[in-house]
Structures are given as C-alpha cells and as structure tokens.
Structure 1
Amino acid sequence: MADKVRYYLEQSVPELEDLQNKGLFDKNEITKIMRRRTDFEHRISGRGSKPSDFLRYCQYENNVEKLRKKRYNRLNSVGLIDLKPSISDWAGIRRIMFILDRATKKFPNDLELWNQYLKYAKENGAIKIIYKVYSSLLQLQPRNINAWLSACKYEFEINGNAKGTRILFQRALRINPDNLELWLNYCQFELTYVSKILARRKILSKEINEEDAAELTLPSEEHELDLPEVDIDMLGNPETNPALKGDVALAIFDAAPKTIDVIYKFIELFDKFPDLNDYLNSHVLRYLQREYPDDINTKFIDITLPLKDGEFQLSVNKFIAYQSKNSDKELKNMFIKKLKDYQNEDNQVLLNAIIKKLI
C-alpha cells in the first residue's frame, strides 16, 4: 500500500512545482497540500476506506483548484503571471477525475460516486470521460433504469445524436423489456424528435405561404429551438412518410407490454404533442376496440377523446349511443366527472346544461 501511495504522490510533484514557480502557492502551502494528499491517499488505499473518503478527497482537491483559479485570475489582472499553458492549468481537474475513477472501481455499486463522477465530467466538458463513465456504469449496472435514461438524455439533449439515443433505448429495452418507464421515455423521445423536425420544416418555410410566413414568429436567441440537422427534402411529408405522423411511436406502443393503466399513460404522453395526438390516439382507440371491445375503459376513452378538441356534442352523442345499447351507471358517472374537469369560464354554461341533462 505504501508503494502505491508513494507512486500516486510522486505523480503530483511536477504540478506542485509548477504552482510554486508561477507564484500561485508558496513553499509552506505546497508542503501542507502534500501532507493532506498523503493523509487522503492512505485513507482511501486502506481496507477500511469508504465512499465518503473519496468524496472528501475530491472536495479538498476541488477547493485547491478553486483557490488556484482565483489567484491565477488576480495575478493575471495585474500582469504578474506567465500566461503560457503549463501542467498546473489542467492537473487539478485531471486529478479529481482520477480520484473519482478509482472510487467507482473500488465501489462499483455506489450510485452517489457515479453521479458525482458524471456531474464533474459534465461540468468540465470532458466528453470522452462522460462516454467512458456511462459505458462502464451501464455494463456494471444494466438494470439501473435511471442510468439508461440519463445516458439517453445526454446523448439526445446535449449531443443532439438521435441515432445514438435510439440505439441506447433499444439496448436498454433488450435488457429490461418489462420496464414501463423505458418504453414511455423511448416513445416520448421519438415524438420529440418528430416534433422538432416538423418545427424545423415550418421555420424553413418549406410548406407555408406568404401569409403564414408573416404570422410566423421565430424564437428569440434566448429561446432558440434545438432542432435536428436533417435534409428536409428527403423527409417528404406526413402523407408520404409515416414516421412524420408518429408511426415510430405507435410501433413502440404496439411492442410495449400493455394493460389498461399503461394505455392511459400512453394517452397522457400523446396529449403532450398536439400536432400528432389525434392520429396517435385514434390508433390507441382502434387497439382498445380490437382487444377490449366490451371494457368500460374502451367506451370511456372513445367518448372522451373528442373533449380534447372541444367537441362536446360529438362526445355526448357517443355517450348516448353507448347508453342506448346498454345503460351503464358507472360509465355515466365517469363521463360526468370528466365533463366537470373540462369546465371553464367559456363553456361552463354549456357543460352545466349537458351535465344536468345527463343526471
């Protein structure tokens, strides 16, 4: 153990010498830093070490790095420091990464260590390290759903790599085929991607006339849309390209393990995409009518879907049609409760009249 500690400490000597040569730390401070590092190295190398020991070590090194940057900026403001890049400029960050890497290898099941490792790597823009950490984490903990979702989110929202995100979701589902959260997030990703493509098409004015263009408000720089890079001419339109209507998301819906409760969750998800939800919900309704034709939830969903578009009369007509075939008090109570949920100042009189008539 002593040899290992000595080896790691010797690796930091060039960095400390550079800090002293630049005038960022004096000799006494360098000695104190080396003494503290020696204590930490002995602590984390021992058999009784804990994850918290590694985190405290990282916290100490992070404080040293913050102090270095503060002194560097102060000396730089008065022109008293050599601006030529040297080892001390990056050694602090690299050292913290190394400590966290050793920590995750020693305690691979400690999620806090993995989270801190990823957080620090992201804060410092260490893309290669981030990919390395995600790869190791997912190999060691393939059942960790949050890890898969975090990796997918990073790949899509930060890197803008839809293909890579899709591959990650599919790998996750091969290992965790019964996890509803993965299915829903995969579906949401595909719908988000299609929505961004359609938004880009609209912004590029491929299919809008001059009147529409005059009314189109482009996002400000502060709220700029993160749109995917695609060749619009290759996409066709929703009539010729089913993917633009949401058929990929529907394929996910069809493949996912489903119960009535799960179907409700998919409907809630589809409602977040108003440009696509009519087509998506129609598919869900056809599935319900095929698989659960006599279930009260099938009838309820069929009746209430028009309410989302404000088509109250159509909804009432469907309810009356179902009741004429087989009167169902439970269905009536469910429908009335749903109507009350849609009440607002504009339709309160109308819905009150409908509810009163139904009662």
Structure 2
Amino acid sequence: MERVQFQQEQMLTELKDLVRKGLFTQKEVKQIMQKRTSFETALVRRIPKKGDFLRYIAYEMGLEALRRKRAARILDGPQPPSVSDYALVRRQFHVFERALKKFKGDVGLWIQYIQVAKKEGARTLVGRITARALQLHPNVPALYILAASHELEHLAPSAARALLQRGIRLNPESAEMWREYVKMELGFVESLRRRWGVLGIELEDTKGKGKQRAREVDEDQEMGNEEVERMQVDAEDESDGGEAARRQIMQGAIAKSVMSSAAKALPKIELFISLQELLTGYPCPPSLRDTLLDHLFTLLHETLPADPAAIRLSATRHLLPDLEGEALVDTLKDANERLASAVRDQNGADERLASVYASFVQDWCRKDIDDSLKGYLITSLQLLTQQKSASPSPALLAATITLLTTYQESLHEYLPPTSNTPERVLRLARKSTGKDTTKHSAQVWLARFDAEKQFSTSEDAKRAWDEGRGAVLGAGTETVWLWGLDPEPDWETTKGRGTGSAEAEVGERVRLLEVRAYGSEFKHGR
C-alpha cells in the first residue's frame, strides 16, 4: 500500500489548485481521491489487468473534459498557468506508461497511447512513443502509418517518407503499407501543385513556350543587345530541365514508380484492389487520376494476366459508384460483355472464373438498378450455361437457378421465355441436378432445394433433399445435409403428432448431426 499512498501524495497539489480556482468543490475532490485510490489499489495487485489501467485512463480523460468545460464557463478570460492545467493529462500519460511496462507486447495499447498523445497535442511525446513502439514491434504496419501521418501533419514529408520506406523494407507483403506510401506521394504532388501555383510556376505546353521565347528574342534583337540574348538562351536551356522534371512529377512519375515496386514485391489482387480504391477516391485532377489508373491496370495485366479476380477488376474498372442513367447502362453492359467473353473463351476450363462472373451478376442484381438491366444480366448468365462446346459450370448453373427463383415474379417480363414461369424454373433445376457433370455439386443442389421450396410442395422439396443427400460429393456436403433441418425443433408441433412422431423426428435429427460430426460412414448406414 506504500505505492498507493505515494500516488495519493502526488495528487494533493493539483487537487488543491482545482479547489482554489473554484472548478471543483471539497466534496467532489474527496470523491476524486476515493476513486483514484480504488484504481491505484487495483493496479498494485500481484497480477494487474489491462482493463484496470484502461478504466483508470478513461476516468482521467472524463475528469479532464469536465475540468475544461468548467474552466471555460467559470473562469473569466485567460488565467496564469497552474499545476491543474496539465496535471490530469500528465496523469493519463503516466498511467499509460505504467500499463506499457506490464503489457509491452500489446500493440493496441501502444496505438491508444499514441492517439491520446496526438489528441492532447503532445508532438514530441508522440515521436518518442512511436519510436519505442517500432523498436518493439517492427512488423506492425499500423505503427509506421501512424508515425508517418504524424510527421505529415507537422509538415515533415521527408521524415514520413523515410518511415514508410523503412516499414516497407520490413513488411514488403503489407498491402496497407504500399497503399499509404502511394497516398503520401499523391499528397506530395498536390502540395507541390498548390505551392507552384502560389509562386506562379506554370506548366505550359512546349509550343506556346516556344512562341513566347521567339517574341522575347525578337525584342532583344531589335534592341541590339546581343549579351542579353546569350543570357536568355542559357536561361532557357536551364529551364528546360526544370520544366521537364516538374511535368513528370505532375504526371505522377513518383507514384507510378512506387506502384511498380509494389507490384513486384506483392503480386496479389488485394494490392491492386486497394490501390484502385485509393486512386478512384483520392481528390486529384482527373487527368492525373486517369494516368495513374492506366498505369495500375497495365501492371495488373502484366502481373496477374490469368487471375479471375484480376479479370473482373479490369472489366469493372469504369463502374464507378456515381454512375447513373445511360452512362451506367453502357458501362455495365461493357463490363458484362468483357467478363462473359472471358468465361466463354475458357470453355468451362476455369471454374474460378465462372464463379467470379456468377458473383458479379448476383452482386449487381442485388443493387437498386433498373429491372431491364437485371433481366439482361440474368439472360446473359443463362446463355453461358447453354454453351454446347463446354460442359456446364456448376457455379453458373447454381447462380442462374437462384436468380430465376428469386426474381421470377418481379422480373417475369424481362426473363428468357424458356425460364420465366415457376414450372420452367423447376424443370431447369431438376435437369441441372441430373447431369453427369453437375449432379454431385452441392451448390447446384442447394439452388434446386430453394426452387423446390418456393415453387413445389413440401413433399417434393423433401424428396429432392433426400435425393440430394445421396448424390452430393465434395465441398458443401455438410450444408446439403443440414439444409432441411430447422434451427430449433418445434416441440409444440411435434407434441401434437404423438410420441412416435416426435421420437422419429428427434432420431432423424440426431442421425444427421452424427453425419455432420463423424463423416460419411453414417451416410452409408455404418
């Protein structure tokens, strides 16, 4: 308890100052002392908990917020600084330091400390905290990003760039690190653009600049000043290099170089998706955005030419969130044609690409777009399942049946004539589960189950479920076996059927759950 008593003694000066200023009463100060004593007692136990430290810090933060509100309301104008002006914030930092001595490996605690220090404007302290955190956790990208953002906020782009480069050297497979590096370089370009605008430095085209130079030379010749002419020519030669460098910077040469390095270090689709989202949403001139996106998709084609997700990303490049009207229709149709053509060229050889296209159609059918567009997408999907040159894809068939089942009523007039009625949808579903290439596919059977449940009787749905359990193989088998089970048994309903019926239903549930737990040996009656 000596530690607790020591901490109590440290509080006296600040608490007296709060009373002297009239911000807290004697009764409130007594309550503060009791609360802090309770927290301090919890912190000196043999095995302290991180939650005790965090509750203590939260209490001090609330106390400081209350002090500031009362000071703004009660005190008249600026007051000479006193110990209570900074003691509560200092105590927050002190508790964080004590917590980190016990929990050095907790990255979340380090990040909370950094954020609190930034909130309080402790710039030097933030630098020290991030340096210590990075020494202990050099493989945590979030710490580098926090440190770099802190440097950028205080107009130190060189320090921020050095931090991110160090983080990338230690974490080359972090898409988040590469994204933040590109973002920082984009911000650097924009800051240069604004600065050069203030200084009056403009990037003129070469033709216009040549005309201006010709006029200046003519004027000098008319004046007969040959020395001035020679000086002008020298200045023009020097300015050519600076003008070319500025032009390259404004065209995103630095960001392009970073993206090229990122593609070599991390050739994964997650990186390209992250960079596309950044470039699409970053506030920069349209010409620069288009240039950088062109470079990004060139890298994507070179790095992941056959990756299904990369093909989708490239095809849907121009499907921006703000598109509407005729522009949306044309862009969506173009993206659909590109994806469908890619699937068609594969002749069913790549099931992953078929799954990507099926997901694309399903995603857009869920969005709030015109019904005719949804009908167009579903029709395009169904046409791919009818290719004679390739075996039908389970992913395409399952998606087609699911969409026809879901939108049969609302999109009746826009659906293909061969599948715009419940009977035709059922016929397609039953035919799909009877084909040799798809009769073992869990996703096709699940799509049929939903169609049977919506368009046929409960007996037909149960027969389909029984048939599916005997036919399905591979991935998704467990889902098929559990499809017909209720989440919870309806005991009131089974009670009315009699003891035998209830026991039979419970026995069936137990048997199916055993299949789920122990595998196919129960499926064959062993």
User: Shorter-chain-normalised TM-score: which range?
Assistant: 0.5 to 0.7
TM superposition shift of 1:166: 0.7
Aligned counterparts, 1:6-45, within 5 A = 6-45=5-44
1:226 equivalent in structure 2: none
Structure 1 vs Structure 2: percent identity of aligned residues? 32
Measured at CA, do residues 148 and 303 of structure 1 come closer, stay the same or move farther in structure 2, by a change above 3 Å? closer
SS in 1 for 2:104: coil
Aligned counterparts, 1:99-118, within 5 A = 99-118=95-114
Is residue 2:282 matched to residue 1:280? Answer: no
TM-score normalized by the length of structure 2: 0.48
How many aligned positions are there? 318
2:190 equivalent in structure 1: 195
TM superposition shift of 1:169: 0.7
TM superposition shift of 1:28: 4.3
SS in 2 for 1:275: helix
Distance 1:99 1:205 in 2: 51
Aligned counterparts, 1:1-359, within 5 A = 2=2, 4-77=3-76, 83-156=79-152, 158-202=153-197, 205-207=200-202, 236-237=242-243, 242-256=248-262, 257-259=266-268, 262-263=271-272, 265-272=274-281, 274-284=286-296, 287=299
Measured at CA, do residues 28 and 155 of structure 1 come closer, stay the same or move farther in structure 2, by a change above 3 Å? same
Measured at CA, do residues 46 and 290 of structure 1 come closer, stay the same or move farther in structure 2, by a change above 3 Å? closer
Amino acid at match of 2:4: V
Distance 1:178 1:88 in 2: 47
Question: Is contact 1:148-1:169 (8 Å) kept?
Answer: yes
| RMSD between superposed Cα atoms in Å | 4.8
Distance 2:176 2:26 in 1: 55
Distance 2:244 2:74 in 1: 60
TM superposition shift of 1:100: 1.9
Measured at CA, do residues 115 and 18 of structure 1 come closer, stay the same or move farther in structure 2, by a change above 3 Å? same
Measured at CA, do residues 87 and 263 of structure 1 come closer, stay the same or move farther in structure 2, by a change above 3 Å? closer
2:450 equivalent in structure 1: none
Comparing 98-107 with 169-178, greater Cα deviation is found at 98-107
Question: Is contact 1:238-1:244 (8 Å) kept?
Answer: no
1:218 equivalent in structure 2: none
Superposed CA offset, 1:260-313 (max 9, x none): 5644554554445633244434545655676677889999999988999x9x9x
Measured at CA, do residues 201 and 234 of structure 1 come closer, stay the same or move farther in structure 2, by a change above 3 Å? farther
Question: Is contact 2:175-2:274 (8 Å) kept?
Answer: no
Distance 1:137 1:306 in 2: 41
Amino acid at match of 1:49: P
Distance 1:5 1:244 in 2: 60
Distance 1:88 1:21 in 2: 10
Superposed CA offset, 1:99-125 (max 9, x none): 122122222233453343233222221
Measured at CA, do residues 37 and 287 of structure 1 come closer, stay the same or move farther in structure 2, by a change above 3 Å? closer
Comparing 109-118 with 50-59, greater Cα deviation is found at 109-118
Distance 1:155 1:119 in 2: 14
Q: Which has the higher contact order (CA 8 A, sep 6+)?
A: 1
Superposed CA offset, 1:221-280 (max 9, x none): xxxxxxxxxxxx999345665333222222222222214564455455444563324443
Amino acid at match of 1:42: T
Measured at CA, do residues 236 and 300 of structure 1 come closer, stay the same or move farther in structure 2, by a change above 3 Å? farther
Distance 1:66 1:301 in 2: 47
Measured at CA, do residues 292 and 92 of structure 1 come closer, stay the same or move farther in structure 2, by a change above 3 Å? closer
Distance 1:170 1:59 in 2: 35
2:210 equivalent in structure 1: none
Q: Which structure has the larger Rg? A: 2
Distance 1:24 1:153 in 2: 36
Measured at CA, do residues 204 and 329 of structure 1 come closer, stay the same or move farther in structure 2, by a change above 3 Å? farther
Structure 2: gaps of 5 or more residues:
205-238, 321-326, 374-379, 385-526
Measured at CA, do residues 192 and 47 of structure 1 come closer, stay the same or move farther in structure 2, by a change above 3 Å? same
Comparing 24-33 with 291-300, greater Cα deviation is found at 291-300
Measured at CA, do residues 83 and 301 of structure 1 come closer, stay the same or move farther in structure 2, by a change above 3 Å? closer
Measured at CA, do residues 89 and 306 of structure 1 come closer, stay the same or move farther in structure 2, by a change above 3 Å? closer
TM-score normalized by the length of structure 1: 0.67
